[in-house]
Amino acid sequence: MDVEECLKLGYLTKIEKDEKLIEKEIKESGYDLKRATTALEEDDAKWCIIQSYYSMFHASRAVLFSLGYRERRHFAVQIVLEGLVRQGKIENIYIEYFSSAMDCREGADYHYRYSEEIAEDIVENAQNFLDRMKSLLKANKI
């Protein structure tokens, strides 16, 4: 599936670029990352994983909003990110971070599968992800 298919199926919709929405999503991403870090410090691996995923999700939404898209399904975010990889605008590792975090969040939230080791990895990935999305937005290369 690609962005055009997602648009046709309604998984993505076109919106006007809105700097306030982009800024709000980056702020939310930072908030979620901070809460994930606190959860890790408090030995709450499950909440750390969930918040780390949402940090990546909100950072991704900022990128989508800058491209003039709004997602209707979480997996559509990954489709847009994959398109950016194909265009050479971001590295594939960020797709891996996002996909892994999505799977781990679902495992923690719905199947009670989580560990401190997973939480430590995902919160580190979330920090790297947020930093990369901020640099992409700042460079205005999308």
Nearest Cα neighbor of 56 from 28, 83, 84, 91 is 28
Total structural domains within the chain = 1
**pLDDT attached to residue 141:** 60
Per the structure, the complete domain to which residue 23 belongs is given by 3-139
For residue 1, pLDDT over 70 is answered with: yes
Assign residue 28 the CATH number of its domain.
1.20.120.330
pLDDT tens track for 68-81: 999 999 899 999 99
Q: What is the pLDDT of residues 10-26, one digit of tens each?
A: 999 999 998 999 999 99
Q: Is the pLDDT of residue 45 over 70?
A: yes
Q: What is the pLDDT of residue 142?
A: 63
Q: What is the pTM of this model?
A: 0.94
Mark 96-110 as b/e (b = at least 16 C-beta within 10 Å). ebbebbbebbeebee
